[in-house]
Structure 1
Amino acid sequence: MKTNLSVKHDLALLFRLLLPALRPSLWPILGSLGFTGLVIGADLLQPYCFKQLLDAATVSFQYQLVLISLIALLLLGAVRSILSYWDIFVRSRVGEQLSASYRKRLFEHLLHLPLKTLAHLKSGVVESRIMHDCGVIGRVYVATQLLPLIANLVQALILLVLILWLHWHIGLASLLVFPLGWLLAHRMTQRSHRQVIQLKMVAEEGHEHLREVASCLKEVRAVGMEAEEIRRWDDWLLRYGRCVCRTTTEHQFLRQALRRLIEWMVLCIVYGWGAWQLLHHQISIGSLLALALYVQHFYATFSAILAARAETGEVAAALQAIDELLQLPREWPDQGKRNLGPLQGNLSSEQVHFAYSSGSPTLHAISFTSSPGTTTGIVGPTGSGKSTLIYLCLRFYQPTKGKIMLDGHDIAEIAPHVLRQQIGIVSQDIQLWQRSIRENLLYGLPETVPWDRVLEVCKQTKVHDFVQRLPDGYEMLVGARGMTLSGGEKQRLALAKALLRDSLILLLDEATSALDALTEAALTTMLRELCSQKNRIVVAHRLATVQDAERIIVLDRGRIVEEGAPEDLRQHTGLNAALYRAQQLPDSVRRPWLEPGG
């Protein structure tokens, strides 16, 4: 159960996190409050006009005043409608601007979070924070609850004065229901808040399930688990439906049924006592009607204040969740050395250790040197740390001990975007945008790169061979994560993108694993010719991929167990020789199709 202390905590959280975010929208907020004030003024004048109308018709018999009051009521209704439109428009704009501001901050922060941090965040939860929670804060709470709440508090005070001014005896009697309404609303708000939190958690589970199934659809079909996934989805729908029903019931009861009950009790008091006063000629019909309307309006305003209070817990939870994401340490792309002078592309590591978590280390005392104009192969069993070493070179992760050097500069001191400009990478996990092939090729390239240069590289990497067979050519959409392309086509596209960056260092992490042997050999020859001056680091499972390397580093369980030229390592009885025999490579060092004239 939510205590008064936690309610105060929610309010303190709102003031601490929300007010600074609203400061840039100060003038629109003041404009909104101005429109809201005019609407309230029109609402407060309406009962008074009704009083004048009825009193003129039943007490003073001034028929001209009846006509004037009727015209005033009609004009007041028209003016109020126009003011309400602009009031809602300005409030909606303020709320949406706040939601957009939070979404922009979260999206920018997400792009700069370290990969180690992202690995512990559920994608469904992050999407829910950006799309749902930001919308709840701005569009729902600020636009429909917080800004009207400020005006409603002022309106409630004015209504209280008017009620007591018209007839203080009946007014005080009608206010006796106020404590009962507050107590009932407080109890229901606590129950409603718990239901909202539970509904949010169940909804996030559904988002995560949808994302998992969509990304693993091939796996689901390959093992025939469609029926099982449908069953899991049906179970979630049942749980979600129950939560929605409970939450909706609590909300609707709080906002409608409870409000109607309180209004009914209040009106019974007002009209009952008012009828008694009418019998004794102590109040006019117009005053009684105005009093009833003011009292009804007061409790409607009171209900709106309670509804805003009921939303406070959910909004405070959303704000806290967003703030927790924003407080996660981020990577600053511009922080570090930016002017490194002329670079050649020498890459080395000195006693590098790394662990993904507090558990056992992934890499132990890794030291190597890789120079421009050479190819360094990194091989080893699955899970030996090959890809991790590549990620460390890109500063996707930070070594727990030791350092990696670029031309004598510790990469930990280099601004990340400057470092990554010097490195081109083709990863085994190829990421393509759901855009055209042309847009994927140009992504991340300077606008000065001519299209003729792009076509030239595409022809060299055999991308042009399959693109020209497509109906839309380079304008064809590749689908989500490149689903319309084969694995080999995606790898060729990734190679082309890496070459277009024209970096000093080229990292190839299983870059040709999806290619057939002939295509791989042709691309390997092409890379040696086009990148003869670059520092090439090749990670591979197939030793055939790195047999032309000047030097091979063999990793096993995060340690360098062998290092040297391919010919020398093949003659030893170490891990490289064992892998060589297991893969049944030919005895010759170079493959026949790479020999001159072959």
Structure 2
Amino acid sequence: MRKLPTVLVTTLISIVDMATITILFCHGNKFKHHLQQGLHHFSFQRSVFDLFVFGFLRFCLTMGLSLSVFRYSYDSIYRIRKIKTVIFIASLATSIYTIIKLLIRSEVPGTLTDKWFWLIFSWTHISCLWMSLHCLFLSKIYINIEVNNTSINKEDGDEVEREPLIGSSDEQSDQSPKTTAKVTIFRLFSHSKPDIPFIIMGFIFLTISSTGQIFIPYYTGEVVDSIVIEKSQKKFTQSIIIMAVISVISSITAGCRGWCFSLAMARLGIRVRNRLFGSVIEQEIGFFDKVKTGDITSRLTSDTTVMTDTVTLNMNIFTRNLILSVGIIVFMFKLSWRLSLLTLIAFPIVLGVSKVYGEYYRDLASKVQDALAAANNVAEEALSAIRTVRSFANEDGEKDRYRTSLDKAYKINVKQANVYAGYVWCTQLFELGLTVAVLYYGGHLVLTKTLSGGNLVSFILYQMQLGNCIDEIGEVFTGLMQAAGASEKVFEYIDREPVVKNTVKDIIDTESVIGQSEDESDKISGLIEFKNVTFAYPSRPDTNVLKNVSFTVQPGEVVALVGPSGGGKSSCINLLEHYYEPITGQILLDQKPVQEYDHKFLHNKISLVGQEPVLYARSIKDNIGYGLSSDITIETVQHAAGMANAHAFIMEMEKQYETEAGEKGQQLSGGQKQRIAIARALIRKPVVLLLDEATSALDSESEHLVQQAIYQNLKGRSVIIIAHRLSTVEKADRIIVIDKGCVIEEGTHSELLRNNGKYASLVQRQLLQTEEEVEERVISHDNDRLGVGIAKRDIGLHFRSTCLITSSSWH
């Protein structure tokens, strides 16, 4: 809000408030006479001088606040924000004082017919509301302070933010400062729109059931009057029958109400989980680099449960108690307006306590969910790597880690329990005091013949019922705050837009690609180009893993990427798969950026076989056909397995292609998993095949089978191989050496050996490892110095001849 208009408006209203309260106090004339009467002959029951004094103090306070804001903007608004709760309490206390004055004044006959009293009584309540709003408006003023050509913008609850000073302060004040988006209850309810038919039916049954419950205390009082006072059998029987009918109808409709809301709650839970999982699964890979799996799992399980169950359940409870409260208040005023006013004093106090408690409880609930998410992450990490835990005998260590994580959640739970205990103490003590006050005042009314005994019994029953309603409404507010705290991360994930978008810019019918022949679906040739690519991972934005990298892979060409570990080879694969986007440069496929291809089409044309392929806890057939249509034929799967040299060992298994692979493929050996992964890649008939250390972790026999499966299926495909072993690299058409994020060499195997550069040193290092093994064997068999010298000479000849043979065989 802007300062000057707000201050002017609030000042004007304060003057109107003072003028009105003065006119009402002196009845429009003789102000001095009424003032003297109030000072010298003040009577709490008859005089309204105290209300005039409250009005004058209110005027001084509001005018003082407005003038201080006008004179000292920043300091005054800061103080107002600190004391606004005190002002709200003062306004509430004034209203309660006025109601108590009305009740005591009603004891004097004829005093309630004074119209001036009713006018000043009503205006006092209006003015108390205005004082709270006056404080709120002033606290919401934007402050613009110029400091060293910068503007400091502050609003309620915000930290100071410096922005470049552009234009006038009025222009600055229109710019909203950055605030943290808070989940609102309305956002929770908005997800229930598809369930409106069930909710409407539930509300209908709820209204019938609650309305029936409202009449039970009333007819209870009628029964008491018919027995004690009137001694009428007919009225007694009639009241009992009516109560029985109402009870039966209320019970039936209550059951129907529960069915409707339970069904709505289940549907809401499924919907929110689907939306959350759908949003998370669409996020870029960088998101999963930073967010732990256990955290996401916790949001999908505990947070969504708290969120959906609490919202629907509390909506049911709140509506039922709201209807009951309205009906009860109507009957209470019908029975005794005096006792009703005394009872309703409790409402603002309970709501105020619930508000303060609910906000603090929401923060604690959010912290509990975060702590449980951390504990779930520890458990998920340990259980997913149980073989590693067992091999290092670290079960006790993992239990300690999990126990420590749970202890953090427990400490926050202790705070929650303490706060809840304090809340219960306050509400219970207040309700007890209110009950004693109602009994005392109600007994006084019965003794003075103002209220009958049966009506007092009915009123007390209504008051007890209203107290339960207030308790449940307070718990509903707390529950909704807990749901809001739990749903903050849920909505944050649902609303999150992926940084790397899979937007369809190249219109291709991806659904028709799978299952077509190679000629029909071959819409790309496989030309790959990296042009001046610089890249850093989102989790490490200050470290460039690729620096101005450029190379080309021609259609049908086999290119090997070699170099020391951490040089950036796998990062090239990640960029080509469009897991990430480069900082600068482009990755082109058939002269078109990879981000312009449809996500599904791109990954049907590009297949990846990694060093540790992930298999799912499904059958081998489902793993090979993963991501394809469910009606894929077994013949297609078998053909792909045959190309991958996997068909033979699959057929030797008891259930063959229906054999379960186990979690992450743990029921299979490393070589078997690799061949199934190759079959999974080949079944898509890719134009580009990416092999990222596909054989590095295998024994010689498994490596031979996997390499045979790879190289017999390379024809007509553009292939990028990442490998360290010479036997894998030397067969490539071209070798690109990448070190420290830069391309330092490029050529064939023989060309790079003749250059005697980084690649030659890598090859020499592999061969020297073999030399050392041979030397150790020679020494163990013959300690003769001559024999050792001959062996070393033979090894040197072996290295040189290997290079020459490799070079000549390549040509």
* Match among 298, 303, 311 for residue 133 of structure 1: 303
Residues of 2 paired with 1:589 and 1:2: CA distance? 85
Counterpart of 1:434 in 2: which secondary structure?
coil
State the shift of 1:389 in Å. Answer: 0.3
Describe the shift of the 1:116–1:207 C-alpha distance in structure 2 as closer, same or farther (beyond 3 A). same
Name which of 225, 238, 248 aligns with 2:394.
225
1:457 corresponds to 2:637: no
Q: Is this contact kept in 2: 1:2–1:190, CA < 8 A?
A: no
Distance 1:68 1:2, change over 3 A: farther
- C-alpha spacing 1:443/1:355, structure 2 compared with 1 (3 Å): same
Report if the CA contact (8 A) 1:10-1:316 is conserved.
no
Question: Which amino acid letter does the alignment assign opposite residue 203 of structure 1?
Answer: L
- The number of aligned residues is 589
Secondary structure of 1:583's partner? helix
1:519: how far off? 3.3
Report the Cα offset of residue 282 of structure 1. Answer: 4.5
Which deviates more from structure 2 when the two are superposed, residues 339-348 or residues 371-380? 339-348
Q: For residue 170 of structure 1, what is the aligned residue in structure 2?
A: 339
1:144 maps to which residue? 313
Q: CA deviation at 1:471?
A: 4.0
Equivalent in the alignment of 2:138:
none
Conservation of the 8 A alpha-carbon contact between 1:133 and 1:318: yes
Q: 2 CA distance for matches of 1:442 and 1:77?
A: 60
Given that residues 207 and 323 in structure 2 are in contact (C-alpha distance below 8 angstroms), is that contact kept between their aligned partners in structure 1?
no
> Within 1, Cα distance between the matches of 2:459 and 2:606?
77
Question: Is the alpha carbon distance of 1:298 and 1:12 closer, same or farther for their aligned partners in structure 2, counting shifts above 3 Å?
Answer: farther
Q: Which secondary structure state, in structure 2, belongs to the residue aligned with residue 511 of structure 1?
A: coil
Are the counterparts in 1 of residues 222 and 454 from structure 2 also a CA contact under 8 Å? yes
Specify every segment of 5 or more residues in structure 2 that has no aligned partner in the other structure, as ranges. Answer: 1-81, 86-155, 158-178, 510-521, 771-798
Q: C-alpha distance in 1, partners of 2:668/2:363?
A: 47
1:157 to 326, 345, 361: 326
Aligned to 1:519: 702
In the alignment, which residue of structure 1 is the partner of 2:229? 59
| 1:284 aligned partner | 452
Specify the alignment match of 1:483 in structure 2: 666
Q: Distance in 2 between matches of 1:197 and 1:3?
A: 26
Mean alpha-carbon deviation: is it higher for 450-459 or for 103-112?
Answer: 450-459
* Counterparts of 1:3 and 1:467, CA distance in 2: 75
Distance 1:343 1:246 in 2: 62
Q: Which residue in 2 is equivalent to 1:393?
A: 576
**Are the equivalent residues in 1 in contact too, given 2:531–2:585 (CA < 8 A)?**
yes
**Structure 1 residue 213, shift from structure 2 partner:** 1.4
Q: Which residue of 2 aligns with 1:544?
A: 727
1:127 partner amino acid: T
Partner SS, residue 192 of structure 2:
helix
Does the 8 Å contact 1:177/1:265 carry over to 2? no
- Residue 435 of structure 2 aligns with which residue? 267
Q: For 1:354, which of 535, 546, 551 is the aligned residue?
A: 535
Q: Structure 2 CA distance, aligned partners of 1:181 and 1:366?
A: 67
Aligned residue for 2:661, secondary structure, equals: coil
What are the residue-to-residue correspondences of 1:32-43 with 2, within 5 Å? Answer: 32-43=202-213
2:383 aligns with one of 208, 214, 217:
214
Shift of 1:405: 1.7
1:198 corresponds to: 367
Cross-structure match for 2:592: 409
CA distance in 1, matches of 2:574, 2:687: 17
Structure 1 counterpart of 2:135 = none
Partner of 1:234: 403
**What secondary structure is seen at the aligned counterpart in 1 of 2:627?**
coil
CA contact (8 A) 1:206 1:236 kept: yes
**1:264-343 → structure 2 map (5 Å cutoff):** 264-279=432-447, 282-330=450-498, 331-339=500-508, 342-343=523-524
Q: CA RMSD in A?
A: 3.0
Cα separation, 2, equivalents of 1:495 and 1:526:
8
**Relative to 1, partners in 2 of residues 1:463 and 1:81: Cα closer, same or farther, differing over 3 Å?**
farther
When Rg is computed on C-alpha atoms for both structures, the one with the higher figure is 2
Superposed displacement of residue 245, structure 1: 4.0
Q: Residues 529 and 193 from structure 1, CA distance in 2 versus in 1: closer, same or farther, beyond 3 angstroms? A: closer
Letter matched to residue 665 of structure 2: G
CA distance in 2, matches of 1:529, 1:128: 45
Identity of aligned residues (%): 25
> What is the CA–CA distance in structure 1 between the aligned matches of 2:275 and 2:426, rounded to whole Å?
39
Deviations 1:415-451 (A, max 9, x none): 2222111111112242221222222122112446421
* Partner AA of 1:202 in structure 2: A
* Residue number in structure 2 paired with 1:535: 718
Which of 230, 237, 240 is 1:70 aligned to?
240
Task: Report the residue type matching 2:295 in the other structure.
Answer: V
The residue type equivalent to 2:261 in the other structure is R
Is the 1:460–1:526 Cα contact (8 Å) retained in structure 2?
A: yes
1:137, distance to aligned residue in structure 2 (A): 2.3
1-side partners of 2:763 and 2:636: how far apart?
39
> How big is each residue's C-alpha offset from its partner over 1:441-482, in whole Å with a ceiling of 9 and x where there is no partner?
221124464212322332442333443444443333322222
SS at match of 2:290: coil
Secondary structure, in 3 states, of the residue corresponding to 1:119? helix
CA distance, structure 2, for counterparts of residue 10 and residue 570 of structure 1:
59
CA offset at residue 399 of structure 1? Answer: 1.5
| Distance change in 2, residues 1:65/1:249 (3 Å) | farther
Deviation, structure 1 residue 109: 1.3
Question: 1:506, 1:78 → 2: CA distance?
Answer: 72
Question: CA 1:273/1:496 → structure 2, altered by over 3 Å: closer, same or farther?
Answer: same
Indicate if the aligned counterparts of 1:547 and 1:566 stay in contact, CA closer than 8 A: yes
1:430 matched to which residue of 2? 613
The amino acid that maps onto 2:488 is Q
Using the TM superposition, give the Cα deviation of residue 186 of structure 1 relative to its aligned residue in structure 2, in angstroms: 4.3
Distance 1:404 1:232, change over 3 A: closer
State the TM-score, normalized to the length of structure 1: 0.90
The one-letter amino acid of 2:462's match is Y
1: CA distance, partners of 2:547 / 2:527: 22
Q: How many Å apart are 1:166 and its aligned residue?
A: 0.4
Contact 1:96/1:135 (<8 A) preserved: no
User: Take 1:130 and 1:194, find their aligned partners in 2: how far apart are those partners?
Assistant: 20
Structure 2 SS opposite 1:95? helix
Any idea what SS the aligned residue of 2:184 has? helix
Q: In the aligned structure 2, how far is the partner of 1:94 from the partner of 1:2?
A: 43
Task: Using the TM superposition, give the Cα deviation of residue 526 of structure 1 relative to its aligned residue in structure 2, in angstroms.
Answer: 3.6
The CA distance in 2 between the partners of 1:591 and 1:74, in whole Å, is 104
Aligned: 1:110 with 2:291: no
Deviation at 1:503, TM superposition (A): 0.9
SS in 2 for 1:272: helix
Please report how far the alpha carbon of residue 376 of structure 1 lies from its aligned counterpart in structure 2 after TM superposition. Answer: 1.1
Distance 1:408 1:138 in 2: 48
1:465/1:513 Cα in 2 relative to 1: closer, same or farther (>3 Å)? farther
| Alignment CA distance shift 1:74-1:150 (3 Å) | closer
User: Offset at 1:19?
Assistant: 4.6
1:299 shift after superposition:
1.8
The answer to whether the 8 Å contact 1:263/1:296 transfers is: no
Distance 1:128 1:233 in 2: 15
Structure number with greater CO (CA < 8 Å, separation at least 6) is: 1
> Do the aligned partners of residues 257 and 83 (structure 1) sit closer, same or farther apart at CA in structure 2, a change above 3 Å counting?
farther
The residue aligned with 1:381 is 564
Secondary structure in structure 1 of the residue aligned to 2:505: coil
Matched, 1:564 2:733: no
2: distance between equivalents of 1:591 and 1:157?
97
Deviation at 1:47, TM superposition (A): 0.9
Query: SS in structure 1 opposite 2:408?
Result: helix
Question: Does the 8 Å contact 1:427/1:511 carry over to 2?
Answer: yes
Give the superposition deviation at 1:15: 5.5
Change (3 A) 1:80 1:482: same
- Partners in 1 of 2:266 and 2:665 — Cα distance? 33
What do residues 101-159 of structure 1 show as CA deviations (whole Å, max 9, x unaligned)? 22212211111111122212222222222222222222112x12234324533432332
Q: 2:255 aligns with which of 47, 65, 85?
A: 85
Q: Contact (CA 8 Å) 2:532, 2:548: kept in 1 or not?
A: yes
